[in-house]
Structure 1
Amino acid sequence: MVAETTFEGLFRSARRSAYHFEARDAYALDEDYAEWTAGNRFDPAERWSWWIDLVSASVSRGVDVRRARIVSEPISPYVRYEYELTSGHNVKAGESVRWLPRRQASSLALPGNDFWLFDETSVLFNHFDGNGEMTGEELVTDPDVAELCASAFAAVWERATPHEEYRPV
């Protein structure tokens, strides 16, 4: 049984791994995205210091933090935004990030929702509406679902290109 049920609690209690699977070409178009599209570049380390602190603390205690993104190419403006902020945000925090063009994922069996997988035992699915607004989270600890998500993540990770080498189209 999982003692923590909030995202931050799950992240802080992870002992070995925290893997994030993302498969959308756009998420909620928030104020940060609007600012970026207006040409106002900002330092993600200053804007999202809480994230860098959370991930850095986890990596410091030995947690492997990975993020795999499946993206359509040519990439959407939102994915361009994510790509440009990844080095100063995700990688700086200690995440390993990889990108997989959607056309290279066609032969993979993948879950229908984005998720976080903690220690390969707890899956936190992220549910979104058609406009990319998060509508909720669903914590699943069923071993079969966790195994499915772990297998899917591993398959994507193996095919994906590390952030440092990925050149978006």
Structure 2
Amino acid sequence: MPRNSAPSFSELIAGCHRSAIHLEMRDVYGVASEAEDFAEWKACGTITATSVERRRPWLDLVRETVGRGVAMRRARIVSTPVSEYIRYEHAGTYLNAEAGESVRWLPRRLASDLALPGNDLWLFDDRLIRFGHFTGDGASAGHEMCDDPAVIKLCGAAFEAVWERAVPHERFTV
């Protein structure tokens, strides 16, 4: 059943023992914590050393999590040609991969026959979902927790269907 109070991501990942999967389905995110990096990337066309340092807490968390045996996988469904934001995400994804996160990309036109949840999500150990809610312009609108077994099964199956079709990051071009 959905719950509106959401533990922090750090708490959720700390309690994770086997897998943490992330399904992203938007072409634009307007998350405040990325605004400076995105603007910097738009200005110079590359991920800078400053941007890498800003991402260090996330990259360290991925390394630590993967280091204790948790498989972290991210699947992104994207429209093609991709948006400027997706080009930015793609440019920095090598850092996620170097930290141990597996990332794949699925062109949206190849997802037409897949049953997908209505929101981005993280699924922890096939037991708990954290849905991400966003406004129309991509700003975060909060999170919602769900531990309903039927919803977990649906979302897990949707992620696996996307993962199976998606292109590994190192082979996906924008």
The TM-score bracket by the shorter chain reads over 0.9
- Following superposition, the deviation at residue 39 of structure 1 comes to 1.1
Residue equivalent to 1:12 = 14
**For the residues of structure 2 that align with 1:49 and 1:147, how far apart are their CA atoms?**
33
- Relative to its length, the structure with more helix (as a share) is 2
Give percent identity, aligned residues only.
54
Q: TM-score with structure 2 length normalisation?
A: 0.91
- Following superposition, the deviation at residue 130 of structure 1 comes to 0.4
Q: Secondary structure at the match of 2:74?
A: strand
- Following superposition, the deviation at residue 47 of structure 1 comes to 1.9
What amino acid maps onto 1:36 in structure 2? W
Residue equivalent to 2:165 = 159
Gaps of 5+ in 2: 1-5
- Following superposition, the deviation at residue 5 of structure 1 comes to 2.3
Summarize the alignment of residues 55-66 of structure 1 with structure 2, pairs less than 5 Å apart.
55-66=62-73
Q: Secondary structure at the match of 2:138?
A: coil
RMSD, aligned α-carbons:
1.3
User: 36-45 or 20-29, which moves further after superposition?
Assistant: 36-45
Residue equivalent to 2:122 = 116
Higher relative contact order (CA 8 A, sep 6+): 2
Q: Secondary structure at the match of 1:67?
A: strand
Count of residues in Structure 1 that have an aligned counterpart in Structure 2? 164
- The 4+ residue runs of structure 1 with deviation greater than 4 A are none
Q: TM-score with structure 1 length normalisation?
A: 0.93
Is the 8 Å Cα contact of residues 51 and 93 (structure 1) preserved in structure 2? no
Gaps of 5+ in 1: none
Q: Secondary structure at the match of 1:116?
A: strand
Q: Secondary structure at the match of 1:164?
A: helix
Summarize the alignment of residues 10-159 of structure 1 with structure 2, pairs less than 5 Å apart.
10-28=12-30, 30-39=35-44, 41=46, 42-43=48-49, 44-88=51-95, 90-159=96-165
Q: Secondary structure at the match of 1:66?
A: strand
Q: Secondary structure at the match of 1:84?
A: helix
